[in-house]
């Protein structure tokens, strides 16, 4: 009887525990049916959720629509919105402890919170009305229902949303896309080790046979008030910077955008396709909404915390985006009076740097105090003795507008679309365009510095104005196009204009593998359906891995080892498709990784090689060498050396697969599994918050640019 009583008690406690757990989890689920009374609206608003949970908002005015958008976004993503603004503000350590400290130090040093506040103060009236209405909607939702479960699990509360928080998230996304300063540090270390000529060759991504530029920009442009046809070379400083990667940028990762004229489609109307590729998050960084209020009727994607529609369409036009990879950052080397002084040299005079003291609260530990110096160029992100490295970045200027997003959402034609983008400051983006009148177009947008000298590829001296910024490139000088003769336009983070174009917009961009594949497929379209054009997004052809496989097949075709001859035969027949069920991609990627390590790590050293390889650079010198291109020699790579390394890497990679060879390799989809991680799932007892890995095809060099932590 005692045992029965104990079992009954345990059963009752278990039932009570499960009931409490169910309540704990379900209580924060937002109300999506019925009527909710809130203050702040000018008239009743309807939010209808479809079968997928997407909110369709119907309001009488724009401001009410933005209020309702903020309300719905908070219902779905309140904790995500809070974590995003905390990242931008540098306040992750308050809730995460020491694990968030490195990120907080970086963000506080940049001064994102201060810049976001300046953005908010300088808003135009339309932006202010929209962002204030959105913030009011967010706060109304937060007040009308229990907070999401993550707040309870971490143990903290909600701070009211403000327009400044929206700008903080814009800056955070710009930080993920604008990483040219980090590239500058890698090239600086390469220059320090090998000299300028070799460093240039090691980071040169140009492959003329595969290039696709924005049409109409083979000419040399002239920026207003500056003879930019001549670019003075940067004097290498020979400083070893050895910076860690601040953004987590992965090799061969990026986004795609293309638009096809109705002359090439089965419907006779234009088709626009866009797939953005960012770091994988759970939930997604994107949020879908259909927004209707007064003259506004737009649908598509935005980020939680951002009002309006960032990617999508209205009743007249459609638009999509990719990162333009333009040089919006520079590193300036400042010379201080002494190792402890805050005075630095500027045009022959000692001037005092501004000082900002930041106090970082760290959960479970004492606060961390940062003493940050800001020169005329920007914050000092590293200091060694009398030398400091200052970061100049357009995002940190603290003036701008949210008007570009709002005006695009209500634009009716290409002219209004271009006018809207003239207000855009950051991040720098490629915009594809299509409209119901049959037009297709393109616009480069954002503030790109106009340099007196240099090209944004290396750190420069800050002691004088030799490398000063002279404002920004005039908007009309930025690349744009309308109805090109080819009948299609495409961007994939590639070099937008030929090297002869002035002013120089960028020296760091992704190799042209994806954009060449897109252009090739679109050029074959004659009467393609929207579904066929959209299906290009799932294309998994990997050009550089195919070239490596073919070269390996030729070199091993007559090898005395029968296993290698069999491998050569299978590689020779491979089509370069990184499909999930194929084992050949698993081998070729392993061979590629071994090959690049063998070719570059001995000369670069372990640390510099790791940073160099993480930015997809080695593949181009290797391809040049395999094809007999003499430019590879400047990078220290000869055809004979790379051929020997290809064979050696093939042998080692095949041996690593075991006695079954290729048949023993994992299918590529399992080797390349997509990882979606909830921020709290690192704790073992919360691991259930993250789903299992997802089998996926693709690669960093394919249109379907899918990697474990980065992808569509």
264 in helix, strand or coil? helix
Which domain-ending residue is among 486, 520, 537? 537
Query: How far is CA 86 from its chain centroid?
Result: 19
Across 118-135, average pLDDT: 94
Give me the pLDDT at residue 366, please: 95
Q: For the chain, how many structural domains are there in total?
A: 3
Asked whether the bond before 427 is cis by omega within 30 degrees of 0, the reply is yes
Query: How far is CA 58 from its chain centroid?
Result: 32
372 in helix, strand or coil? strand
Q: Is 659 among the domain residues?
A: yes
Which domain-ending residue is among 537, 569, 597? 537
Least confident of 248-262, 405-419, 420-434, 540-554: 248-262
What range does the domain containing 639 cover? 543-711
Question: Which pair of structure tokens corresponds to residue 340?
Answer: 């402890």
Give me the pLDDT at residue 26, please: 54
Nearest to 355 by CA among 346, 367, 344, 368: 344
**Banded model confidence at residue 377, pLDDT cuts 50, 70, 90:** very high
Listing DSSP states for 405-455 in one string gives: HHHHHH--SHHHHHHHHTT--SS-EEEEEEETTS-EEEEEES--EEESS--
pLDDT, greater one: 138 or 250 = 138
The pTM for the full model equals 0.91
Give me the pLDDT at residue 35, please: 79
Give me the pLDDT at residue 349, please: 96
Q: Are 342 and 104 in contact (CB under 8 A)?
A: no
Give me the pLDDT at residue 21, please: 44
Beta-bridge mates of residue 257: 274, 491
Quick one: 219 and 308 in the same domain? yes
On the question of pLDDT at 682 being above 90, the answer is: no
Quick one: 164 and 299 in the same domain? no
Average confidence score pLDDT of the chain: 88
Q: Is 522 among the domain residues?
A: yes
Q: Is 31 among the domain residues?
A: no
Nearest to 472 by CA among 365, 333, 326: 326
- Residue-wise pLDDT for 316-370, tens only, equals 999 999 999 999 999 999 999 999 999 999 999 999 999 999 999 999 999 999 9
On the question of pLDDT at 66 being above 90, the answer is: yes
Quick one: 437 and 323 in the same domain? yes
Q: Are 74 and 141 in contact (CB under 8 A)?
A: yes
On the question of pLDDT at 461 being above 70, the answer is: yes
On the question of pLDDT at 575 being above 80, the answer is: yes
Give me the pLDDT at residue 278, please: 82
CATH number at residue 118: 1.10.439.10
Quick one: 159 and 254 in the same domain? no
Across 54-71, average pLDDT: 97
Give me the pLDDT at residue 590, please: 95
**CB within 8 Å of 195: residues ≥ 6 apart:** 236
Across 150-172, average pLDDT: 94
- Residue-wise pLDDT for 175-229, tens only, equals 888 888 888 989 988 988 888 888 888 898 888 888 888 887 654 545 434 444 3
Indicate the length of the chain as a whole number. Answer: 712
């Amino acid at each position: 009887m005692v045992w029965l009583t104990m079992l009954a008690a345990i059963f009752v406690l278990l039932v009570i525990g499960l009931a409490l757990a169910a309540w704990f989890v379900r209580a924060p689920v937002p109300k999506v049916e019925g009527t909710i009374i809130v203050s702040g609206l000018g008239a009743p608003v309807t939010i209808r959720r479809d079968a997928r949970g997407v909110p369709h908002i119907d309001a009488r005015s724009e401001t009410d629509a933005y209020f309702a958008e903020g309300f719905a976004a908070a219902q779905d993503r309140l904790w995500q919105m809070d974590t995003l603004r905390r990242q931008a503000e540098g306040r992750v350590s308050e809730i995460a402890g020491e694990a968030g400290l490195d990120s907080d130090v970086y963000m506080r040093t940049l001064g994102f919170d201060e810049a976001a506040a300046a953005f908010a103060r300088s808003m135009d009236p339309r932006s202010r009305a929209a962002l204030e209405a959105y913030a009011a909607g967010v706060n109304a939702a937060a007040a009308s229902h229990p907070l999401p479960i993550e707040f309870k699990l971490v143990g903290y509360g909600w701070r009211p949303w403000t327009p400044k928080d929206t700008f903080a998230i814009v800056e955070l996304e710009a930080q993920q896309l604008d990483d040219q300063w980090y590239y500058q540090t890698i090239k600086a270390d390469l220059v320090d080790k090998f000299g300028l000529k070799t460093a240039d060759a090691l980071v040169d991504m140009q492959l003329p046979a595969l290039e696709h530029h924005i049409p109409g920009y083979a000419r040399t442009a002239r920026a207003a008030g500056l003879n930019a046809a001549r670019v003075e070379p940067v004097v290498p400083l020979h400083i070893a910077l050895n910076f860690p990667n601040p953004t987590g940028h992965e090799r061969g990762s990026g986004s795609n955008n293309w638009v096809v004229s109705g002359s090439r489609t089965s419907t006779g109307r234009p088709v626009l396709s866009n797939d953005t590729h960012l770091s994988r998050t759970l939930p997604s960084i994107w949020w879908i909404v259909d927004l209707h209020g007064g003259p506004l009727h737009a649908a598509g994607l935005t980020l939680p915390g951002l009002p309006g529609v960032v990617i999508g369409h209205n009743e007249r036009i459609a638009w999509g985006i990719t990162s333009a990879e333009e040089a919006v950052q520079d590193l300036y080397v400042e010379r201080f009076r002494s190792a402890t002084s805050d005075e630095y040299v500027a045009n022959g005079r000692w001037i005092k740097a501004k000082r900002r003291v930041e106090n970082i609260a760290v959960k479970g530990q004492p606060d961390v105090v940062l003493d940050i110096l800001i020169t005329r160029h920007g914050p000092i992100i590293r200091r060694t003795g009398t030398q400091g490295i200052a970061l100049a970045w357009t995002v940190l200027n603290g003036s701008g507008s949210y008007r570009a997003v709002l005006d695009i959402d209500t634009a009716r034609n290409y002219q209004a679309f271009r006018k809207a983008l003239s207000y855009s400051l950051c991040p720098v983006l490629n915009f594809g365009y299509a409209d119901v009148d049959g037009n297709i177009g393109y616009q480069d947008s954002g503030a790109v510095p106009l340099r007196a000298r240099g090209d944004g590829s290396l750190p420069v001296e800050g002691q004088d104005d030799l490398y000063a910024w002279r404002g920004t490139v005039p908007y009309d000088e930025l690349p744009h196009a309308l109805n090109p003769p080819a009948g299609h336009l495409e961007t994939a983070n590639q070099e937008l204009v030929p090297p002869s174009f002035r002013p120089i917009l960028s020296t760091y961009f992704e190799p042209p593998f994806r954009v060449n594949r897109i252009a090739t497929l679109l050029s074959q379209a004659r009467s393609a359906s929207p579904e066929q054009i959209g299906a290009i997004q799932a294309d998994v052809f990997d050009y550089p891995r195919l070239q490596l496989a073919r070269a390996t097949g030729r070199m091993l075709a007559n090898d005395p080892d029968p296993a290698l001859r069999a491998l050569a035969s299978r590689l020779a027949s491979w089509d370069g498709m990184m499909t999930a069920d194929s084992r050949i991609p698993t081998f070729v990627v392993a061979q590629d990784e071994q090959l690049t390590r063998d070719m570059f790590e001995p000369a670069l050293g372990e640390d510099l090689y790791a940073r160099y390889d993480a930015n997809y650079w080695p593949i181009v010198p290797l391809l040049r060498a395999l094809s007999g291109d003499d430019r590879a020699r400047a990078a220290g790579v000869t055809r004979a050396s790379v051929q020997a390394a290809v064979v050696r890497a093939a042998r080692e990679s095949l041996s690593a697969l075991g006695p079954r060879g290729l048949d023993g390799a994992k299918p590529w989809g399992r080797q390349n599994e997509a990882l979606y991680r909830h921020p709290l799932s690192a704790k073992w007892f919360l691991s259930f918050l993250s789903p299992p890995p997802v089998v996926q095809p693709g690669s960093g060099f394919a249109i379907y640019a899918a990697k474990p932590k980065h992808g569509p």
